[in-house]
A and B are shown apart, each in its own frame.
Chain A
């Protein structure tokens, strides 16, 4: 099997010593009748094997678009990648011919979506949809593919996998369906797993189980996990590093402990203060005033300045540079010192 694998998903130019995933200055815009919406404006991210990077932000900040641009599954039109690089082991996926890029998907970089019910095809059994991966990418027969599908369902702890492999997506509960999604993403042993809000659609109790399963599978396989979420609670439990996004940019990046203890960007700080906390019960919650900007009309200077408590004149004129404030910490804010309180 290894021979076939090597043949079928060979991507030219792979350098095993290069970083696993290195996104540099990625830019995506949506060209619609109403105007151009700049969804991603120069995102830079790096992901290492065995590491969990959480990408945190409000809906509309461009985090899902970033993920889909990395996967290469944006709808074009209206979406257009206008700049930057997505380097996987040193190969720029954006420059790769579509035929080669297709081999990267699911084989090297796989993705889990938010709502498993709509993300799975309603008219095919989960066995078919899992087995399809082995048939298309590994050239397996229907029977072999089905056997592998049962193994996978077993691995994600779906009880009675042998029977359930013939069920349709709507016959599973929400949590079980998300396990099927996970099984599908892990089928071809990818090195990078992108999980786009994997637990948002689930009950709180099930959320914990799914996150636990993801963390465990990640450890077993030493995968790089890019976890996209707007839930700061989820992040604190599983992430190693956090990238906070606002209006299509990464505004702060830091190890998880640091960001909770000492946020360096005004936006991160405001986000943390807007979380209801039991120990501060009775006090008024700090809510970020205003709304995220329309992506057709992003404010000049620092995109956050109209809502920022620290904003001064310069924030509306100059985009803030990315300050390296510690070995692993970057923040794009004119008033990093004031926010950090030093």
Chain B
């Protein structure tokens, strides 16, 4: 084995010749050369545009439904046809992006903030604080995600007036931070034990400076990867909760709602079920691929 190692280490200097770069610079160079990254990024940009300016994609109004057009085929701007209520499927699908994306981003932010602080505190403080927080995470993981989410979402959405957006954001955010916290914790622990942190401490850096100048920048990348994937998970989560009837409701338009509404009519008209499903899956796929690509770029060992 020692021989094989020698073979590869001996080669390393030859390929790494050139000016020195930081980890982030390296990762960016690596990302730029990945096809998967560009596909994922393009998909994400399209979905974000759809969420911000749906009128860019369609001039139809998703609320403009005529029962006379019930289950009608594609015509004019309605390239996906009409659903059982006579609504334009394409317009509804485009407009469905907004609530899905808003919910996913807000919930991911909440989960990210909680995860960041819990993970940092547990990893940096160690001792009983770590033990307590880690046990707490174990307890949270003792309740399967959707089961906890159903109970909490049901509780939060008891107001019949609201469209459920805030309730779903809170549900996904409050229950979804455990993975991020775990990753942050182990990244901080391994960064904390690095020699350069000990060196900075000996040079008189205070705890705040240690944490935010030295530890955080070196442990943030796996955390960002988890959050990227969490965006996809939350989009799926919103759809699932909406499908079950404890998510978005009322005047909200979302892919999950569309799937739930049109599912029973799929036998007579498949398109109203298929298209929101495709958009939902493609969006989740985009975030997973993005997360995978970023992780591979940041983890030189896997190259």
Binding site for B on A (CB under 8 A): 30, 32, 34-35, 37, 39, 59-65, 114, 197, 292-297
Contact = CB atoms under 8 A, between A and B. Distances in A.
A296 B10 CA distance: 8
Contact of B3 (A34, A35, A63, A293): A63
B199 interface: no
B2 interface: yes
B14 A60 contact: no
Nearest to A74: B4
Nearest to B9: A60
B278 to A, nearest CB: 37
B3 A62 contact: yes
Contacts of B147: none
Contacts of A294: 10-11, 14
B11 A60 contact: no
Given A294-B10, A295-B10, A64 B15 contact: no
Nearest to A65: B3
Contact of B14 (A61, A62, A292, A296): A296
Nearest to A291: B10
B299 to A, nearest CB: 18
Nearest to A57: B3
Interface residues of B, number: 12
A49 to B, nearest CB: 27
Contacts of A197: 2
B56 interface: no
Given A34-B14, A34-B15, A295 B7 contact: yes
Contacts of B7: 30, 32, 37, 39, 60, 295-296
A114 B3 CA distance: 12
A63 B3 CA distance: 8
Contacts of A37: 7, 10-11
Nearest to A197: B2
A64 B3 CA distance: 6
B6 interface: yes
Contacts of B14: 34, 294, 296-297
A60 B1 contact: no
Nearest to B3: A64
Specify the main secondary structure of chain B where it touches its partner: helix
Nearest to A38: B7
A59 B6 contact: yes
Nearest to A34: B11
A37 B12 CA distance: 13
Question: Looking at B1, B3, B15, which has the most chain A CB atoms within 10 Å of its CB?
Answer: B3
A39 B11 contact: no
19 contacts: A34-B11, A34-B14, A34-B15, A37-B10, A59-B2, A59-B3, A59-B5, A60-B3, A60-B7, A62-B3, A63-B3, A114-B1, A197-B2, A293-B10, A294-B10, A296-B7, A296-B10, A296-B11, A296-B14
A178 to B, nearest CB: 16
B18 to A, nearest CB: 15
Contacts of A61: 3
Nearest to A293: B10
A37 B2 CA distance: 15
- Across chains A and B, which 4 residue pairs bring their CB atoms closest together, nearest first? A60-B6, A294-B10, A59-B2, A64-B3
Nearest to B7: A37
Contacts of B6: 59-60, 292, 295
Contacts of A293: 10
Contacts of A296: 7, 10-11, 14
Interface in B1-46: 1-8, 10-11, 14-15
A39 B15 CA distance: 19
B40 to A, nearest CB: 25
Given A61-B3, A114-B1, 10 more contacts: A30-B7, A32-B8, A34-B15, A37-B11, A60-B5, A62-B3, A64-B3, A65-B3, A294-B11, A295-B6
Nearest to B2: A59
A224 B295 CA distance: 51
Contacts of B11: 32, 34-35, 37, 294, 296
Which of A60, A114, A296 has the largest number of chain B CB atoms within 10 A?
A: A60
Contacts of A39: 3, 7
A115 B56 CA distance: 65
A292 B8 CA distance: 13
A64 B4 CA distance: 9
B2 A64 contact: yes
Contacts of A60: 2-3, 5-7, 10
Contacts of B4: 30, 64-65
A55 B1 CA distance: 16
Contacts of B15: 34
A32 B4 CA distance: 11
B10 A64 contact: no
Contacts of A292: 6, 10
Contacts of A295: 6-7, 10
